[in-house]
A and B are shown apart, each in its own frame.
Chain A
Amino acid sequence: MIKKVTVPFFVLLLMCGVGCGESVPTVKIGFVAPLTGDQAPHGEDMLNAAQLAIQHAQAEGAVLPGYQLELVALDDQRNPTQAVSAAKKLVSDKAVMAAIGHLNSSCTMPASAIYYQAGLLNITPVSSNPQISQQGFSTFYRTCATDDLQGPAAARFAINALNARSIFIIDDMTTYGRGLADAYQRELEKLGGTVLGHEGLAQGDKDFVPLLTKIKSMNPDLVYFAGMFPEGALLIKQHFELGMNSQFMGGDGLYDPVLIELATPEAAEGVIITTIGVDVHQLETARAFVKEYEETYGPIGAYSAYTYEATKIAIWAIRQAGVMDRSAVLDAMKNLKDYPGLFGLQNFDEHGDSLIRDIGIFEVRDGTFVSIKSLRFE
């Protein structure tokens, strides 16, 4: 009886195996970001952009002759442990020729080591902690500016443009948040600003009223937060509800329209944030991309353009390599010069950091982010 059932089953399996073998071989691009969890809105914006890049590349013709291009999207839930297991999953698949990711520096940091050991090209669109590229991994590239530019630029803006003299700094105790906050504080002290205090808060926490009450009693000119938007929104809301009149300022982790929705537009009014890159709407080179993205997916996310850029560059490198070989892809990447990307001609330094170093400054006005300043560093 058992045999009668199992035999056709095996035949079926066999047929499937043969069928799969006959299909066109694929070259895969890995993508990892938080697709679930509180930071999923950022992750979705990134995934949309990566998919758009794949579609565009497919329209331009086969990446490798006879191969199909496929995106493998994995979820790291902004959790370093998950990030490492996602990275291991990618490197174990021989068809994966590049890994795009991750979002959070605390995830990219350990995952970049996995990619390096496997000799797999890794381009992070937006992890901005400067130490990641200092690990000496030849597989690592990054398409955004780092926090050793963002932090000081934010500090200079606070002192010079906002006339803040006494500042309280909060970070979210992650690789990104702490790194950015420290860079901000160093520049602030150099410029003669008074740092009233520097404290951390835990990601996922909701009640920051005791901390803000303490800050309120110190009466600072400005409160700076280096962290992501879920905590940022609650800080802004509770800052407003406590009737504090200090200016609220934050880093690029807050740059998402969801921030304003969660914090309520009323509380978010006047909040200043810095971003690792300028407003993409102002870039001539990105116009067509922004238009297509917004028609397909709605308003463009903070990290969409960087993810598109990173994915397209990875595809470019695979095309240049011309074979299914990770080291050939890396060699092609080393020879990249003046790649015509969304932000202008893209080049990378010896650490893999992009030479296009832009910082944007935005203010929340009437419930939307309005670009008030763009800085370019050479």
Chain B
Amino acid sequence: MTASQLFLQQLSNGLTLGSIYALIALGYTMIYGVIQLINFAHGEVFIVGAYAALCVMSMTSLQAVMPWWLLLGLAIVVAMFVSALLGWVMERLAYRPLRTAPRLNALITAIGMSFFLQNALMLIFGATDRSFPNWVPAVRWDIGGVTLTLMHIIIWVSSALMMLGLHFLVMKTQLGMAMRATSQDQKACYLLGIPVNRIISMTFMIGAVFASVGGVLFGLNYGTINFHDGYMMGLKAFTAAVLGGIGNLPGAMIGGLVLGILESMGAGYLSSQWKNVFAFVILVIILIFKPRGLLGERVAERA
């Protein structure tokens, strides 16, 4: 393996991890965009999606009547639905009553929500690692000495498609327009007859759908899930959102990919025990020079 092959391989490793970070980071950034709340329970929404898919995939009665790809598709749909429902309930019960309260109250509520969900998952599914079936065939391609697997391609393609879809949704549809309007001025939106509450609920649900897809891809790729996986992945995705410029959608995507690549390069070229240190040092350096994140300029208009 030559140096350039090794570099490309590490780049592809980083893109895989980064794509999952990006899918979760989008939720953080969208929710921050509309109500300036860091939803710390978003990482749990991600792992709830993975658990929901696991429940569907381990139903033997369904396994008997369906081919694997159909059941996997069904599992993803159920995961999206369960997570979206959770996102809606969370906003309705925990955050909406605090909409007018000082921002810190909602933030603490979000942390409490995260703990609550983590422990609920532990009580329901147990504290041990659960193995996640991977039905994606282990196909491997060797392109110029760089190994690519079908699983990696699926992760890249599905996250790219979802992000394109989100871009279309936010930029071209009426819902997207209402979301952007809500993020700019809620009072004016009320006056213009935009159903602000419904738009905020929708934002939580869309963010949750993205996180749940990330959760299923995470489970498929690593093969084990645990109730506290959501915490660490959520923290990393939050970092990615800040890195890209929180409140900025392309920023979250780029932040996710950059963080994934940084971690991968840090582990590959420096030392795996300093992997997180390396990623966070870069984050600090970027924030010193660009306090609003990589794509932060556009956020300035809303401040």
Contacts and interface: CB of A to CB of B under 8 A. Distances in A.
Interface of A: 36-38, 40-41, 170, 173, 199-202, 204-211, 213-214, 216-217, 230, 233-234, 237, 241-243, 258, 261-264
Contacts of B264: 209-210
B273 A200 contact: yes
Interface in B132-149: 138, 140, 147, 149
B24 to A, nearest CB: 14
Contacts of B263: 207, 210
Q: Most chain-A CB neighbours within 10 Å: which of B9, B149, B223, B263?
A: B223
A37 B127 contact: yes
B272 A208 contact: yes
Contacts of B138: 241
A81 to B, nearest CB: 16
Contacts of A41: 128
Nearest to B151: A241
Contact of B224 (A37, A170, A202, A262): A262
17 contacts: A36-B127, A38-B128, A38-B226, A40-B128, A202-B276, A207-B13, A207-B17, A208-B272, A210-B14, A210-B266, A211-B272, A213-B13, A214-B268, A233-B129, A242-B147, A243-B140, A264-B223
Interface string B1-27: 100001001100110110000000000
B223 A211 contact: no
Q: Most chain-B CB neighbours within 10 Å: which of A38, A204, A234, A243?
A: A38
Contacts of B272: 170, 199-201, 208, 210-211
Interface string B109-145: 0000000000000100011110100000010100000
B127 A40 contact: yes
Nearest to B5: A217
Interface residues on B, range: 35 or more
Nearest to A75: B127
A243 B273 contact: no
Contact of A206 (B1, B140, B222): B222
Given A211-B267, A211-B268, A237-B223, A202 B275 contact: yes
Contacts of B9: 213
Contacts of B267: 208, 210-211, 214
Given A214-B268, A217-B1, A241-B149, A234 B223 contact: yes
B271 interface: yes
A209 B224 contact: no
Interface of B: 1, 6, 9-10, 13-14, 16-17, 122, 126-129, 131, 138, 140, 147, 149, 218, 222-224, 226, 228-229, 232, 263-269, 271-273, 275-276
Contacts of B218: 206
Contact of B129 (A201, A202, A230): A230
Nearest to B9: A213
B122 A36 contact: yes
Contact of B222 (A207, A211, A217): A207
Nearest to A206: B222
A213 B128 contact: no
Q: Most chain-A CB neighbours within 10 Å: which of B265, B266, B268?
A: B268
Given A200-B272, A201-B272, A213 B232 contact: no
Contacts of B223: 234, 237, 262-264
A68 to B, nearest CB: 30
A216 B224 CA distance: 23
A114 B128 CA distance: 28
Contacts of A216: 1
A371 B147 CA distance: 35
Contact of A204 (B128, B232, B271): B232
B268 A261 contact: no
A335 to B, nearest CB: 40
B12 to A, nearest CB: 9
Contacts of A207: 13, 17, 222, 263
Nearest to B274: A200
A311 B228 CA distance: 32
Nearest to B16: A209
A40 B9 CA distance: 35
B272 to A, nearest CB: 4
Contacts of B147: 242-243
A224 to B, nearest CB: 15
Contact of A234 (B1, B16, B222): B222
A204 B230 CA distance: 11
B224 A213 contact: no
Contacts of A233: 129, 224
Contacts of B266: 210
A365 B6 CA distance: 32
A76 B208 CA distance: 33
Contact of B6 (A173, A211, A217): A217
B130 to A, nearest CB: 9
A205 to B, nearest CB: 8
A237 B127 CA distance: 21
Given A40-B128, A202-B276, A243-B147, 14 more contacts: A36-B127, A37-B127, A38-B127, A41-B128, A200-B271, A201-B273, A205-B275, A206-B218, A209-B17, A210-B13, A210-B272, A211-B268, A213-B9, A230-B224
A214 B266 CA distance: 11
Nearest to B224: A262
Contacts of A243: 140, 147
A364 to B, nearest CB: 16
Nearest to B133: A264
Contacts of A241: 138, 149
A219 B156 CA distance: 28
A4 to B, nearest CB: 38
Nearest to A44: B128
A230 B222 CA distance: 11
A261 B131 contact: yes
A170 B271 CA distance: 11
B182 to A, nearest CB: 36
A262 B131 contact: yes
Contacts of A173: 273
A309 to B, nearest CB: 25
Contacts of A237: 223
